[in-house]
Structure 1
């Protein structure tokens, strides 16, 4: 699209700034998910009993020596600081999207802002009310927000290199043909994340049967992700063999996630008896709260969000570029 007028140039500058800020927010949100995962793994969510302050101090004025002295407080306070950074960048992104003049971008910016505010308030209420339901909800919204930010990166990147025509086309084709199957894949990945959140926040008074049930559901949905990924591969290879970039990324992350899932079981519950009896006798002791348990479990959680982000990128690029070559996120200038 030719951009000859001063208004068009201003719009392009605004879109570029929005794209850069979307990348910054993406880069802040992923470590935030990691830190939130560590908080849950170490059960450190209640290490700081008040909110929005930290032990009576302003969040940004809490003494460094107190912050670094205790591991649980370090995790929870760091989580809050990174979340605050995500909030500030979200405000800047909303302003940048608003300045593009595009009604679609303005609505997108408002949604980003509302969702990050919701997440912050739910996290705070979880601390004040000590409600496990809020912890579940908090764990489900974080990947949703990460997926939304990924969508903003993809859409603003496309707006820079192309025109609004691609975005208008996307609105008509998001749920059709191959793009429609990719949406089903994204929805299934998110369902898997929600089920995983239930496993991570099981009430201690719940009977063991519920944990077993959620585990079975978790495994079934993981299998469905593989099925839908295979369907998309089959359709793409048949109809658009040049559009496989994001499918390769998705498949790689999916394989990593399955591997991490297996190791997550091992570091939390040890190797199954049948594996030790019939395959390989391995001597391993589960260490509650140990480094291996924390790192592997949190990596499994974070990789689930990364898989969702890759799914969103795959879905949107398929919708906006039905006949294009390699589909990649546009990198910031």
Structure 2
């Protein structure tokens, strides 16, 4: 009974984590990241957003540098409500794991790691607001959300170890190839987060060239300076054109590298292995990769429409989970 409840909570946490990641992308891409200039409340209100004339006037007086925009404020607060609920689910998961720690099939370490991670995520959420969308914090917050998602999937995949649903390793080389693919994808997602946080997604409004050039002027030093101090707002971006172009170009190059490698990896899984599960994993990676590349190109050609941009984040999350699943399939002895 204990284990059944544990995994039900884990499934609920997984679903909500995906929602939180997508909501976070929606908030960021709709320029609502500073819809509430304080934390954890919104213009001093913990459970509401100023939407009456008197409330708005009072909030504008208290925060003259950030006039109330109720629509943006509600987007931010809904994201916080969902993130707070996720925190409670992860806490429940850790409590259940600790209470059942004497059971041989009860994971303990990973739920406690998830609890620490979600606490750190809440701090990153606070710094995102109080440090006014500082790019390194925004990128770290995205990676933290995707790490939470990945660890929950790893935890749930471990549920079936004793039921022999996972595949037997056919080649030790595949483990290394899968791990490298995961590492390359994480690096590309980090680049994507850096691109978005620095408002560089439309620095190259054409494709496959950039501003009608194959290799425009670049500025690597400014593009990848991680820390620029505090006390300034990064909303809308602070980098000059050449630095933003550099970030965008590097994200495109990263996408090409990842596409070639994961394309090769999926081909190897489908064409050279005889295990049906591995073939399905390879096929899933290939399909998600094609979709993700299409969404990336559409973002440029259509000038970053909100639904496509949010879907691009969702596609990255699903592609990441396919690589996490593959790595777990190749390590059926992994424990948590």
Whether the 8 Å contact between 2:288 and 2:319 is mirrored in structure 1 is yes
1:184 and 2:218 aligned: no
Which residue of structure 1 lines up, in the alignment, with residue 13 of structure 2? Answer: 25
Measured against aligned partners, the alpha-carbon deviations of 1:235-258 in whole angstroms (never above 9, x if no partner) come to 433244422122222211111111
- Structure-1-length-normalised TM-score: 0.75
Which residue of structure 1 lines up, in the alignment, with residue 153 of structure 2? Answer: 150
Whether the 8 Å contact between 1:182 and 1:315 is mirrored in structure 2 is yes
1:15 and 2:23 aligned: no
Q: Pick the aligned partner of 2:35 from 47, 69, 80.
A: 47
Q: Pick the aligned partner of 2:196 from 193, 200, 211.
A: 200
Whether the 8 Å contact between 2:34 and 2:133 is mirrored in structure 1 is no
1:313 and 2:320 aligned: no
For residue 40 of structure 2, give the secondary structure of its aligned residue in structure 1: coil
- Structure-2-length-normalised TM-score: 0.74
Measured at CA, do residues 121 and 244 of structure 1 come closer, stay the same or move farther in structure 2, by a change above 3 Å? Answer: same
Whether the 8 Å contact between 2:42 and 2:49 is mirrored in structure 1 is no
* Distance in 2 (alpha carbons) for counterparts of 1:135 and 1:70: 22
Structure ranking higher on relative contact order (CA contacts 8 Å, 6+ apart)? 1
Matched ranges for 1:70-81 at <5 A: 70-81=70-81
Q: Pick the aligned partner of 1:248 from 271, 283, 308.
A: 283
Whether the 8 Å contact between 1:51 and 1:127 is mirrored in structure 2 is yes
* Distance in 2 (alpha carbons) for counterparts of 1:16 and 1:225: 38
Measured against aligned partners, the alpha-carbon deviations of 1:21-58 in whole angstroms (never above 9, x if no partner) come to 22111110111111101111111111112212233233
Which residue of structure 2 lines up, in the alignment, with residue 263 of structure 1? Answer: 298
Measured at CA, do residues 131 and 294 of structure 1 come closer, stay the same or move farther in structure 2, by a change above 3 Å? Answer: closer
Q: What stretches of structure 1 move > 6 A for 4+ residues in a row?
A: 63-66
Whether the 8 Å contact between 2:263 and 2:286 is mirrored in structure 1 is no
Q: CA RMSD in A?
A: 2.8
Which residue of structure 1 lines up, in the alignment, with residue 142 of structure 2? Answer: 139
* Distance in 2 (alpha carbons) for counterparts of 1:299 and 1:246: 21
Measured against aligned partners, the alpha-carbon deviations of 1:43-86 in whole angstroms (never above 9, x if no partner) come to 1111112212233233xx326967xx822012100100110111
1:214 and 2:247 aligned: yes
Moved more, 309-318 or 14-23: 14-23
Q: Pick the aligned partner of 2:129 from 102, 127, 134.
A: 127
Following TM superposition, by how much is the alpha carbon of 1:108 offset from its aligned partner in structure 2, in angstroms?
0.5
Measured at CA, do residues 239 and 250 of structure 1 come closer, stay the same or move farther in structure 2, by a change above 3 Å? Answer: closer
Measured against aligned partners, the alpha-carbon deviations of 1:170-211 in whole angstroms (never above 9, x if no partner) come to 9xx8x9421221111111111111000111011533122222
Higher helix share: 1
- Structure 2, unmatched stretches of 5+, are 53-68, 199-233
Which residue of structure 2 lines up, in the alignment, with residue 82 of structure 1? Answer: 82
**How many residues of Structure 1 are paired with residues of Structure 2 in the alignment?**
276
Following TM superposition, by how much is the alpha carbon of 1:100 offset from its aligned partner in structure 2, in angstroms?
4.5
Following TM superposition, by how much is the alpha carbon of 1:17 offset from its aligned partner in structure 2, in angstroms?
2.7
Following TM superposition, by how much is the alpha carbon of 1:127 offset from its aligned partner in structure 2, in angstroms?
1.1
* Distance in 2 (alpha carbons) for counterparts of 1:129 and 1:206: 17
Measured at CA, do residues 128 and 64 of structure 1 come closer, stay the same or move farther in structure 2, by a change above 3 Å? Answer: closer
* Distance in 2 (alpha carbons) for counterparts of 1:265 and 1:235: 31
